[in-house]
Amino acid sequence: MSAQSLYRKLVDSHTVSVIDDSNLLLFCDLHLMNEYTSPQAFAGLHEKGRTVPYPGQNVAVVSHIIPTHAEAVRSIRDPASALQASNLKRNCTRHGIPLFDTNDALQGIEHVVSPEHGMIRPGMVVICGDSHTTTYGALGALGFGIGTSEVEHVLATQTLVYRLARDMRIHVQGALPPGATAKDLVLMVIGRIGAQGARGYVVELCGPAIDALSIEARFTLCNMMVEAGARGALIAPDDKAVDYVLQRAPDIRGELCEQALAHWKTLRSDADAVFEIEHHFDASEAVPHVTWGTSPDQVVPVTGHIPRLDELVDPGSRQSAEQALRYTGLAPGASLLGVPVQHVFIGSCTNGRIEDLRAVAEVVRGRHVAPGVRAMVVPGSGAVQAQAEAEGVAKALIAAGFEWRKPGCSMCLAMNDDVLAEGVRCASTTNRNFEGRQGRGAITHLMSPAMAAAAAVTGVISDVRTLGVPHG
């Protein structure tokens, strides 16, 4: 048998049947659903008189449309959104599918909730009607987003007609310098390979810098690889990943645990596996980064400068830069340092976990949100919220002038009450800075939680390293 990549091992172990050289029928261990990509799928299912044969391998979360106001009992006041949530509840009840509903104490963002409750294990295939399902590669699971028609197919069969991706490997040597995080690393990588640099590929990330990252940092890394066009992102499970899963999966005990551990040890690329593209990066170059445009690959180190148009050789890149600069109101060759912000948003499936909130608290302790800035922190789940409150992290954020909100997707994509007004410039820990992503005419600068915290207390885009905060 020829040498295989981790990606091909996962695909082969879940192949029900081969359709042709490029397509196969793939079994899906876990299907996650949200309120906005499932209604049409359930409707199609019911029109055909079909049921859900594996309800326990499907889980639903209300996350994108939910308000995050700090109220005791949350209610969705927007009629269209309320209908989506009620439809999801009715469909889950009808088919016996577990649901993290609006006022569930453990409710949150699907990509935060599922791993923290032990649903994601190495070697799984996990799908969801959301592109950031790549997050689960941090635990050695193949996760990817699917469309509404595919959601219906999975509900009916627990399988998916799947087109094979190609293999890419990214090696990251060295170590992150003080002040830099996984968010800075992934922004640097996306900036260098481009927003289409991994299109059509599942990317395996490896190297000493990856090994050194916490699991939560790996979630951030895998989450954002889709912004380079990746169809999946994988990190071979190591002791950190195994410990993370076993701490959250009480069902894996005794003989089952021994079997799982033996299998998980095989989940790595063979030494002579061939990858169609390989990239090499040095983590020591991943200083704090900030986006300047309207695509995640339009990014520079915070101490750098926005590219001058004559530096962009490719006509498409030059045209895209011109359009982005018109939208953001910035000038070619300008520095981002000192650019005023009116809003700071900390949260999302990219950076809404407890490590992210601890990093923010570390920056803002003894400081206060700058005048004229509105700063929000939205924990990624009810569990994260409870932990932050128990540790005193929430107290530190509130004391510094941040709004402490309820869990949800919130201002990541403006599908709820948290929407920026036109012209408002936001320092954001989210994953996309597209035009109108956080509100029509609003301007988004992607950065790490620590960098967003620095912007909050200074009122401008700042280099967190100049604040004298020891973190990394």
Q: Could you tell me if residue 278 is inside a domain?
A: no
- The answer to whether residue 80 sits within a structural domain is yes
Burial of 355 (0-12, 13-18, 19+ CB in 10 A): middle
Pair (313, 460) in one structural domain: yes
156/17 same-domain check: yes
446: left (phi over 0), alpha (psi -120 to 50) or beta: beta
Q: Is residue 173 part of a domain?
A: no
**C-alpha distance from residue 84 to each of 20, 38, 76, 414, 416 (Å):** 37, 9, 10, 16, 12
Which of residues 117, 138, 163 is at a domain's end? 163
Single out the residue in 147, 163, 179 at which a domain terminates.
163
CB 15 within 8 A of CB 25: yes
CA 398/CA 140 separation, integer angstroms:
36
| Final residue belonging to a domain, choices 132, 163, 194 | 163
Q: Classify residue 240: in a domain, yes or no.
A: no
Other Cβ atoms within 10 Å of 308 Cβ, number: 12
| Domain presence at residue 286 | no
The string over 423-434, giving b where at least 16 C-beta atoms fall within 10 Å of a residue's C-beta and e elsewhere, is ebbbbbbbbbbe
Question: Do 299 and 445 share a structural domain?
Answer: yes
Q: Let me know if residue 126 belongs to a domain.
A: yes
Spatial distance between the Cα atoms of 30 and 53, rounded to a whole number of angstroms: 13
Buried b (16+ CB within 10 A) or exposed e, 144-157: bbbeeebbbbbbbb
The answer to whether 152 and 47 are in contact (CB under 8 A) is no
Other Cβ atoms less than 10 A from the Cβ of 112: the count is: 29
**What is the amino acid identity at position 100?**
F
Number of domains in the chain: 2
Sequence-ordered list of residues with C-beta below 8 angstroms from that of 19, at least 6 positions apart, any chain: 25, 161
pLDDT value at position 1? 65
The predicted pLDDT at position 260 comes to 98
What pLDDT is attached to residue 472?
A: 42
Whole-number pLDDT of residue 237: 98
The count of other CB atoms within 10 Å of the CB of residue 51 is 12
Q: Kindly report whether the global pTM for this prediction surpasses the value 0.95.
A: yes
List all residues 6 or more positions away from 49 whose beta carbon is below 8 Å from its beta carbon.
none
Asked if 331 contacts 293 with a C-beta cutoff of 8 angstroms, the reply is no
Asked if residue 277 belongs to a domain, the reply is: no
- For residue 290, the number of C-alpha atoms closer than 13 Å in the C-beta half-sphere is 29
Report whether 185 contacts 149 (CB < 8 A): no
Please name which of 393, 431, 395, 397 lies closest in space to residue 411, comparing C-alpha atoms.
Answer: 431
131 assigned to some structural domain: yes
| pLDDT digit string (tens) for the chain, length 472 residues | 689 999 999 999 999 999 999 999 999 999 999 988 888 999 999 999 999 999 999 999 999 999 898 887 888 989 999 999 999 999 999 999 999 999 999 999 999 999 999 999 999 999 999 999 999 999 999 999 999 889 999 999 999 999 999 999 999 999 999 999 999 999 999 999 999 999 999 999 999 999 999 999 999 999 999 999 999 999 999 999 999 999 999 999 999 999 999 999 999 999 999 999 999 999 999 999 999 999 999 999 999 999 999 998 888 899 999 999 999 999 999 999 999 999 999 999 999 999 999 999 999 999 999 999 999 999 999 999 999 999 999 999 999 999 999 999 999 998 888 999 999 999 999 999 999 999 999 999 999 999 999 999 999 999 999 998 644 4
Domain range for residue 42?
6-163
pLDDT at 414: 84
- Rounded-to-integer distance, Cα 317 and Cα 313, Å: 8
For 404, the enclosing helix (H) or strand (E) is strand 403-404
Six-digit token pair at 323?
Answer: 């359009």
The CATH number assigned to the domain holding 303 equals 3.30.499.10
Pairing between β-strand 58-61 and β-strand 99-100 as defined by DSSP bridges: parallel
